[in-house]
Structure 1
């Protein structure tokens, strides 16, 4: 199965990657973050940390980051450092109207050093850093990264004859140093020709010269340690992944599918349903392809951080929505699932500061592909079913506002979808928790320890079990199912996001992150208020009758 996946991915990459002249630099292997990656990924990640985007003034990260090393003085006055925290701007006496600052503005005075001292004192207390200190830490990282790249110490391009740590540009042996100097000269000639708007033939020549210089350096590096430099296929796959953006294409097609389903109702055209299924299928294929690429590049299930779980959950939403739609043919289920998955993918794409999309090695506690696959993927796929129930409940509230009697059939269909989705979620969450206990015994020597992640997963399970039992016993009617579809999902949000990004405590430290708390809190609050508002409106209508 694995060999088949590799064959399919390799074929697709070779068909869809049309490297331009001058692009060889993107494929240069670099050691960073505990793995070997293409220079394309390295430069994107570095620019993202410093500037908050993967391009600067329309220029690619591969160009920008290398010029930091070749000519750092040229960047002294450039406003490339992103600072969004107003408390930091106050502390440094900088304008809150600005978002980007030069290195001189931020790091030349004493104020930055005072902030670093504050951060170090906070670290010594071993408390979880609040958003202010997290922002200070990011500023410190920005300073460190720029300085290390400028000094040539962060870009590690040569494998050693023995050992694992690659050699940085600043420490290259004479032979490779000469070859890298040729590479940088060819790079400068190429970007100079681009900046001057030279003819296509001139650009082709300078690009070809750059490619030749890169390949010459790679040949020398491979000769040093062929086994350590054997990453060609995965390097190409990762550059293709960076350029292709499969998940972005997936949500574009999901948007088309949702629009088509909506038009089926608005225009009363049944023929559009076939189109909806086709574009949904294309979107799902792209979604799956993106997953396959990440699995192939990293040799693991792509569910090790918040970004990857959001992508996985959105994939599961489509699966469950399609299955339930094929069984019940309500259309509302497919519409809700498509919208929910679209929403999750858009959030993942537009919030890289919170949901880090970079490909990172597994933390030691996760280095068991077997347990990672069966526990984490089982737990998180349950969130997909609950998210589908949440999406259906949102639509249900809309129909209750439009008129309960008038839209009785639609509400009945929605409630059935919510109930089935909750059942599916519980069927995955319960064994997922048990499997997590087995893994905990394997990793930490105890089955259950009331860790925050464990506790909130159990709370979510008990919450949904209570709803299902109450429905079965007739204690919860249709509106109750719609309301609990939204309210109960807040338990999932806490188990999924809150423990890692708000509490930041427990043995599941590999998943901790920061940012977005105010947006998630507002999202939950708005939905809870919607439930209360619809309940009040419904109560008022009942009294009038």
Structure 2
């Protein structure tokens, strides 16, 4: 099995991006967002803000964003500004069926100034912004981002002799401007060769040489502040390799193989499923380790990172329970829900921000971040596994309670054990959070919404465990509670930050996705009701026939 895992990982790494002439631009250090990052990350983030994607017309962000600064006039007629909110489109009197617009259509619109003033008034009142005002704020940010890059004020490439704030392109000294001019000339020649489909080997080499010369010049300003080469390389690799994307692909393959084991009755495929699961888990861990190395902290400071962490924990708990009980249902549920979490994280960047951001001041304690946040969120992984097993249990009840008695018992055992694991982490996680709150805010407990909903989730799951132990909840009840009680976790995990948006945990607040999460919860409640009604009808029929 080890040989198969290593072979599979080597194949995955072979498909990762190879360096090409001209790729040196990706590794150019830029100060942005409170940290030093590669130009590759900067360009991806800026294009994501403006266009909503990391590529434009199949061209990389590194090319696009540089041309915003070098030739902003060439973008006047390009539809690069994304607007998704229909209320904003209606307020600007733009067609609702359209998604991308030129700068003149939006920012040249006489109503845009009025909308900005409306947004400013809302911000001054310190009210929580609804989706309409959030969309307006994003539009304002798009306008600001493009203008600042075009003016050369946002691209900060040279460290200062004294202080921490780097020098932007527009503020460079004449000698630095001269060296940077060689970079821009080489860049223009390189993209010209690419556009005309000529060989880019020489132009790429020229660009790389000009970049090396510029970086040597910039480093002379302040060698200490410019010493980020290893982390810059690691971050570019992380951006190009997409370890979490490879992880969910491998998890889906493992899930598919496990289904084939059941449908084709071929236990031999179980070993192959384990191979893909282990390979996916290794890449999952590798991606997590990369983020830890780049940022120098535990990567659980925002919603995106906790989704990645919870998915990792789900696989870990599923594998442990599978090794103990050998029921196979654990791996089926674990691979499915872990892959689901990673897919959501990958395909919803507007909601779950995947960018690497420095810690908020209140979180700047690696010790407490590690032991509190990682402890409390790993409990969500166990509850997520119980939720996945609950879905599997519903499926068995739908197919026939008598026929699948053995499988249902296995599912119920898994739900019970998963909830026990979750409670064992959630309870100390809440206590540790109180200790951190006393350290940061001067009080142990203050009924903050985040604290309150974490406690509600804990009490809800404790009630399930006690009711099961007392015999008040039977097998079907455990399946139902495994699904329904997870709504408490969703509220504590997502709802407080994205729906309520209130309390001292404001560093975790976000926007978007409410309709999808509501539909997700609502559909599961409807599924539970449907199966419960169907089961009751079947039981009534059995009694009458008896």
When residues 41 and 512 of structure 1 are mapped into structure 2, their CA distance, relative to the original with a 3 A threshold, is same
Q: Are 2:427 and 2:458, in contact at CA under 8 Å, matched by a contact in 1?
A: yes
What corresponds to 2:224 in structure 1? 227
Q: Are 1:13 and 1:240, in contact at CA under 8 Å, matched by a contact in 2?
A: no
Deviation at residue 124 of structure 1 after TM alignment: 1.0
**2:318 maps to 1:321:** yes
Gaps of 5+ in 1: 1-11
TM alignment of 1:468-507, pairs within 5 A: 468-507=465-504
What corresponds to 2:514 in structure 1? 517
When residues 88 and 541 of structure 1 are mapped into structure 2, their CA distance, relative to the original with a 3 A threshold, is same
- 1:191-247 deviation per Cα after TM superposition (whole angstroms, max 9, x unaligned): 00110111x3xx111000000111110000000000000000000000000000000
What corresponds to 1:460 in structure 2? 457
Deviation at residue 39 of structure 1 after TM alignment: 0.2
2:361 to 358, 364, 367: 364
What corresponds to 1:88 in structure 2? 88
Gaps of 5+ in 2: 1-11
2:265 to 268, 276, 289: 268
Paired with 1:414 and 1:17, the residues of 2 have a C-alpha distance of 41
**2:299 maps to 1:302:** yes
**2:299 maps to 1:293:** no
**2:392 maps to 1:400:** no
Paired with 1:274 and 1:542, the residues of 2 have a C-alpha distance of 39
- Structure 1 counterpart SS, 2:165: coil
What corresponds to 1:536 in structure 2? 533
What corresponds to 2:183 in structure 1? 183
- Structure 1 counterpart SS, 2:120: helix
When residues 257 and 15 of structure 1 are mapped into structure 2, their CA distance, relative to the original with a 3 A threshold, is closer
- Structure 2 counterpart SS, 1:37: strand
What corresponds to 1:7 in structure 2? none
Deviation at residue 174 of structure 1 after TM alignment: 0.7
TM alignment of 1:73-84, pairs within 5 A: 73-84=73-84
Q: TM-score scaled to structure 1, two decimals?
A: 0.96
- Structure 2 counterpart SS, 1:446: coil
CA RMSD, Structure 1 to Structure 2 (Å): 1.2
- 1:451-478 deviation per Cα after TM superposition (whole angstroms, max 9, x unaligned): 0000000000000000000000000000
Deviation at residue 109 of structure 1 after TM alignment: 2.1
Paired with 1:331 and 1:305, the residues of 2 have a C-alpha distance of 32
Paired with 2:278 and 2:334, the residues of 1 have a C-alpha distance of 13
- Structure 1 counterpart SS, 2:162: coil
Deviation at residue 543 of structure 1 after TM alignment: 1.1
- 1:9-46 deviation per Cα after TM superposition (whole angstroms, max 9, x unaligned): xxx99997742111000000000000000000000000
- 1:312-342 deviation per Cα after TM superposition (whole angstroms, max 9, x unaligned): 0000000000000000000011110000000
1:242 to 220, 227, 239: 239
What corresponds to 1:47 in structure 2? 47
TM alignment of 1:12-23, pairs within 5 A: 18-23=18-23
Deviation at residue 369 of structure 1 after TM alignment: 0.3
What corresponds to 2:6 in structure 1? none
Paired with 1:141 and 1:17, the residues of 2 have a C-alpha distance of 31
Paired with 2:36 and 2:88, the residues of 1 have a C-alpha distance of 35
TM alignment of 1:152-231, pairs within 5 A: 152-198=152-198, 200=199, 203-231=200-228
- 1:339-368 deviation per Cα after TM superposition (whole angstroms, max 9, x unaligned): 000000000000000000000000001000
What corresponds to 1:6 in structure 2? none
TM alignment of 1:298-447, pairs within 5 A: 298-447=295-444
Q: Are 2:16 and 2:240, in contact at CA under 8 Å, matched by a contact in 1?
A: no
Q: Are 2:27 and 2:39, in contact at CA under 8 Å, matched by a contact in 1?
A: yes
What corresponds to 1:69 in structure 2? 69
Deviation at residue 435 of structure 1 after TM alignment: 0.3
What corresponds to 1:150 in structure 2? 150
When residues 14 and 156 of structure 1 are mapped into structure 2, their CA distance, relative to the original with a 3 A threshold, is farther
When residues 405 and 13 of structure 1 are mapped into structure 2, their CA distance, relative to the original with a 3 A threshold, is closer
When residues 361 and 43 of structure 1 are mapped into structure 2, their CA distance, relative to the original with a 3 A threshold, is same
- Structure 1 counterpart SS, 2:301: coil
- 1:135-178 deviation per Cα after TM superposition (whole angstroms, max 9, x unaligned): 00000000000000000000000000000000000000011100
Q: Which runs of 4+ in 1 moved over 6 A?
A: 12-17
Deviation at residue 270 of structure 1 after TM alignment: 1.0
When residues 406 and 15 of structure 1 are mapped into structure 2, their CA distance, relative to the original with a 3 A threshold, is closer
